[in-house]
Structure 1
Amino acid sequence: MSEARPSLGQAAQPLVAALVADAAALRLEVGRSATGATIVDGGIAAPGGIEAGRRIAEICLGGLGRVEITAGSPFPAWPFRIGVTASDPVLACLGSQYAGWSLSHGEGEGAYFAMASGPGRARAVKEELFGELAYADEAAPGGFFVLETDRVPPEALIERVAADCRLSPSDLVFVLTPTTSLAGAVQITARVLEVALHKVHALGFPLRHVRDGLGSAPLPPPSPDFLTAMGRTNDAILFGGEVQLFVDGPEDAARELAEKLPSSASRDYGKPFATIFKEAGFDFYRIDPMLFSPAKVLVTALASGRTFTAGMLAPDLLAQSFDGAV
């Protein structure tokens, strides 16, 4: 790892320690696996809550970002918003927050599957993305992961993750936040900036030209139904998310990025995500990957100071998803 770049694991460690220390106040439950890994229940048996989700989202950002919940939404029926900033958005969002590491164990009905987020990904470096980022976190003191799941990972999987991180299982922390939980709704929606940067990468815009960024999205109501809960967290970003990026390079490139970046540029745009998912036969790979992006984007070309705006907020679609009045 370059000495000029921070260790995501070191930056996140005090946040993880504070989450564990404050577990009772945050209505979380902390336990140990048989092999010694720390398991933090953020909404399976423990109730968790909004503040827990906010702090978990900051862990997802590898200690390089801030997540705030504020009033002042453009949607009268949904007045609270989740705001995200980061000192190094590309590293914080794509190097840590992005759910890019697929973890699985077993087959059939009892199989376990989860997508791993968090700074531990940069310790394991199992994804090609880290080659593009030219980053690995050998200085990380532990492997810290956030899983969007309602099940504890099996011991065999924990041991494999530890081996991939070149750590012992006792050095691992898994924070579990089901999609249907309050903490899950917050930490997933807090990916509004990460979703934009992931699409920036998919569009082929040079990540090194992204100097800074910030984003916000309305706080969605959770649902005990997984499909509804998943749809609402996606729709909070697709129909209510706003992101501004500050980029280097030619002005024309910034203008083109703005035009292509919003969710409305996708062929699948126009229906709540749960409906799109059903129509795709519950197959993510049949959904246009360009759909996953904020509703409205601003791209500021630092070379000229001009800002290009594209996309639009969609209160009617958001109301359909959140089941509330516009």
Structure 2
Amino acid sequence: MLPLNLNARAAKIVETMRAGADERRIAAHEIDGGGLFIDCGIKSQGGLQAGLDLARVCLGGLADVSIVMGEAAGRATPVVQIWTDHPVHACLASQYAGWALSEGKFFAMGSGPMRAVRAGEPIFETIGCRELSDTIVGVLETRKAPPPEIVAKIAKECGVEPYNVTLLAAPTASLAGGLQIVARSIETALHKLAELRFDLSRVVSAQGSAPMPPVARDDLAAIGRTNDAILYGARVILHVTGDDESLQSVGPGVPSSASRDFGEPFAAIFARYNNDFYAVDPHLFSPAEVVFQNIQTGRTQVFGAPKPEIVAQSFWG
């Protein structure tokens, strides 16, 4: 059981979003059979504030997310920054898009604190935590409104009533949807560490940043740009404890450069594998640069480096 009330924290963010729906350019809809759907970029236009809120909901209210002006390859671009003192709970128990949801022609990847209540993914065996909550909040990456059947499925697997389910959604090719995906810099580093069997309890705080791409013409193109923002543009600092030798051992395998598929825009990689995510080398999905700052020994170790020329090719080429 999680002591940090991820769903309750996310619900408070949702309340603020609903109260300021017009300024965020979002819309809330009741779902037949129970449940609430908040459109952040499907039929509603959504905006940057909606994207920030969407990212914070994904993180269960346990991380700060902001946008600053930065640059990539000498060109001005927004940069999405994130920091958290609870990286494992915020990023792996909540933010990670690990729940594939399908019903008929509907498909979406599910994120957010509802995952911590279901706790049905292998990652929960690694991080060893679960939350109990009567109400749940989730985020869907999709271009379609969730049908009642999906709400019923989510409610059943989480052990709650459908009317206690709140789902927020935005497509990848939207301001809000793109922003919340690019806010996953820390999450990708932690997930890679989990795959490498690193003791995640050693990661006590984390910071990350990634350039936010222009909204693409369609979701497939947006998938390429948002992945490139992380793979070739993201930089993550992990504040850790323990010995330095193990960090030196695991470090080279953490950044995206450890993958055999590293080195060209994701759209080209994806096309080479016939748009099959599962065929892409899983070691690719991590930040360009990962920094370990050992708060016990005072030593800093850096692995990987951004590739701004690939970011530029992806964003503006």
- Do they superpose with TM above 0.5? yes
Per-residue deviation at 1:52? 0.6
Indicate if the aligned counterparts of 1:254 and 1:300 stay in contact, CA closer than 8 A.
no
Alignment map for 1:224-239 (pairs within 5 Å)? 224-239=217-232
1:117 aligned residue: 111
**Which deviates more, 254-263 or 179-188?**
254-263
CA RMSD of superposed structures (Å)? 1.4
Cα deviations by residue, 1:222-253 (Å, 9 ceiling, x for unpaired) = 11222211110010111110001122222111
1:291 maps to amino acid: L
**Which deviates more, 293-302 or 70-79?**
70-79
Alignment map for 1:192-271 (pairs within 5 Å)? 192-271=185-264
Cα deviations by residue, 1:147-194 (Å, 9 ceiling, x for unpaired) = 000011221221121122221111111111101111011000001111
2:137 aligned residue: 144
Per-residue deviation at 1:74? 5.3
2:117 maps to amino acid: R
Query: Aligned equivalents of 2:124 and 2:258: distance in 1?
Result: 28
**Which deviates more, 70-79 or 155-164?**
70-79
Per-residue deviation at 1:130? 2.0
1:177 to 149, 152, 170: 170
Query: Aligned equivalents of 2:75 and 2:84: distance in 1?
Result: 28
2:310 maps to amino acid: L
Query: Aligned equivalents of 2:72 and 2:297: distance in 1?
Result: 29
1:249 maps to amino acid: G
Query: Aligned equivalents of 1:192 and 1:201: distance in 2?
Result: 15
What runs of 5+ residues in structure 2 fail to find an aligned partner? none
Per-residue deviation at 1:315? 1.3
1:61 aligned residue: 59
Alignment map for 1:34-53 (pairs within 5 Å)? 34-53=32-51
**Structure 1 residues 142, 75: closer, same or farther in 2, change over 3 A?**
farther
The count of residues paired between Structure 1 and Structure 2 equals 317
Query: Aligned equivalents of 2:157 and 2:46: distance in 1?
Result: 29
What runs of 5+ residues in structure 1 fail to find an aligned partner? none
1:273 maps to amino acid: F
Instruction: Provide the secondary structure at the position in 1 that maps to 2:129.
Output: coil
Determine what percentage of the aligned residue pairs are the same residue.
Answer: 42
Query: Aligned equivalents of 1:239 and 1:77: distance in 2?
Result: 15
Query: Aligned equivalents of 2:130 and 2:196: distance in 1?
Result: 24
Cα deviations by residue, 1:24-71 (Å, 9 ceiling, x for unpaired) = 110001111101211111111100011110111001000101101012
1:88 aligned residue: 86
2:16 aligned residue: 18
1:286 aligned residue: 279
Indicate if the aligned counterparts of 2:82 and 2:209 stay in contact, CA closer than 8 A.
yes
Cα deviations by residue, 1:175-225 (Å, 9 ceiling, x for unpaired) = 111011110110000011111111111111111111211100011111122
Calculate the TM-score normalised by the size of structure 1.
Answer: 0.94
